Amino acid sequence: MKTKTLFTSLLLVSILFTAQVSLAQLPKETDAHKAERMKWWTDARFGMFIHWGLYALPARHEWVKNAERMTNEQYQKYFEMFNPDMWDPHEWAKMAKAAGMKYVVLTAKHHEGFCLFDSKFTDYKAPNTPYGKDLIKEYVEAFRAEGLKVGFYYSLIDWHHPDYTIDSNHPQRQTSDTAYIRLNKGRDMSKYREYIKNQVRELLTNYGEISIIWFDFSFPGKHGKGHDDWDSENLLKMARSLQPGIIVDDRLDLNNVEGGWDFTTPEQVQVSKWPEVNGKRVPWETCQTFSGSWGYYRDENTWKSPSQLIELLIESVSKGGNLLLNVGPTARGVFDFRAQERLKVMGEWMKYNNRSIYGCTEAPAGITVPANTLLTYNPVTKRLYVHLLAYPLGSLTLPDMADKVKYIQFLHDASEIRFRKGGDDAKNDLTLSLPVQKPQVEIPVLEIFLK
């Protein structure tokens, strides 16, 4: 009897110990350490998202399989036709760099389940299409060669895998519980959990240093999926142990777990202020499309204008965030001409104005934002940037700034902007004299050297 009790308590202790050990693997970081780990990313501010997969062929949204409720058999023709003969990842990387982007995130696998990489755990992959090669390998090398940090998007959702249970987001979604039970007979999520672990291990082992992993996405609830379905905690522990510096988004459904995510991901929206969690500002990145779709969508015409896009970037930085701007390349492997045009204009603006973006963040509290402007601030150089969204007529007043300013210039040409103390109503205002003609810059920027 005694031996049995001793044995049971030993067993209990060892179980508790193992649980402790495995929990301890998610890094317990101080805020300072986390900020340091993420510094390159928060300084970078601007990255490229790339959504590329079989859905480029139908060219009507990356959710086409879902929207049109296609079966694997009906979708198979895109796999058989996949052959991006014009693909040159170096060209992509050069365009991203020229636009001023510092990092890139490509869909290694999207919801359709098709893998751009040479995974040992599936046949549903680029090397088995007419194209015949591992696209991820070439992608990683090309973007690295241009000096960009490389990341992967990995879809937790999988509309092709035989063990992935049919859920409310699946092309074969149902309307009754009994139909779900019938269809999901024989599907085994524990096998699928192993599959995603195996694939993420491949991605984070076979391609050198990977800076970002973008898991997408959880939808807990009835006929949904959350952290238990993915075994998120262990998946993340594995990712962090394979790539200790890796930066992770917040879609694993681990929002309440310490170390369960690094940044939050407002999608296709402009936040009204710097996002907070439990009263604390958190790192954030908005992901946005040029038009309405992530994958190449031939007939989608709601493209944002170049100045709207530049404004989106400035606006994100003005609230302490990043912009991940998406391109959906065509099935030939090139960027849509509309995307190319916009990247060019952004690059032209960034070439002369990137000092108001890189390393910048929200302006210090207490500085009033003049009408029709956005402010960013570099805390290291102590320079304040005023982005003139609507070009003023001859002068601009900065309220209550007279005792704070050393020097002002246009950022694009370093030409002096003269200013005098006093404004319309308050003595401590600063009034700037601007040339009547708007400079040849999409959104002109004033660079203010603070005392």
> In the complex, what is the shortest distance from the CB of residue 102 to ligand GLC, in angstroms, rounded to a whole number?
19
- For residue 171, the one-letter residue type is P
> Following DSSP, what letter does each residue of 375-426 receive, concatenated?
EEEETTTTEEEEEESS--SSEEEETT-TTTEEEEEETTT--B--EEE--SS-
Closest to 157 measured CA to CA, from 146, 144, 166, 145? 166
Q: Using the minimum distance from each CB to ligand GLC, give the nearer residue, 194 or 267.
A: 267
Closest to 146 measured CA to CA, from 102, 88, 107? 102
What would the two tokens of residue 371 be? Answer: 């009408």
Which residue among 82, 152, 192, 294 contacts ligand GLC (CB under 6 A)? 294
**Alpha carbon distance 239, 229 (integer Å):** 17
> In the complex, what is the shortest distance from the CB of residue 62 to ligand GLC, in angstroms, rounded to a whole number?
5
* Cross-sheet strand order for the sheet of 430-433: 395-398, 430-433, 419-421
Query: With CB under 6 A, what is the number of residues at the site for ligand GLC?
Result: 8
> In the complex, what is the shortest distance from the CB of residue 266 to ligand GLC, in angstroms, rounded to a whole number?
10
Supply φ then ψ for residue 378, to 5 degrees. -105, 110
> In the complex, what is the shortest distance from the CB of residue 279 to ligand GLC, in angstroms, rounded to a whole number?
26
Which residue among 59, 115, 254, 287 contacts ligand GLC (CB under 6 A)? 287
Q: Does 213 bind ligand GLC (CB under 6 A)?
A: no
Which residue among 267, 341, 400, 442 contacts ligand GLC (CB under 6 A)? 267
**Alpha carbon distance 47, 416 (integer Å):** 32
Contact at 8 Å (CB) between 326 and 295? no
Q: Using the minimum distance from each CB to ligand GLC, give the nearer residue, 266 or 439.
A: 266
Q: Using the minimum distance from each CB to ligand GLC, give the nearer residue, 302 or 395.
A: 302
What would the two tokens of residue 450 be? Answer: 């603070």
- Report the site for ligand GLC in 46-65 (rule: CB under 6 A): 51, 62-63
Q: Does 291 bind ligand GLC (CB under 6 A)?
A: no
Which residue among 112, 158, 202, 216 contacts ligand GLC (CB under 6 A)? 216
Binding site residues, ligand GLC, CB under 6 A: 51, 62-63, 216-217, 267, 287, 294
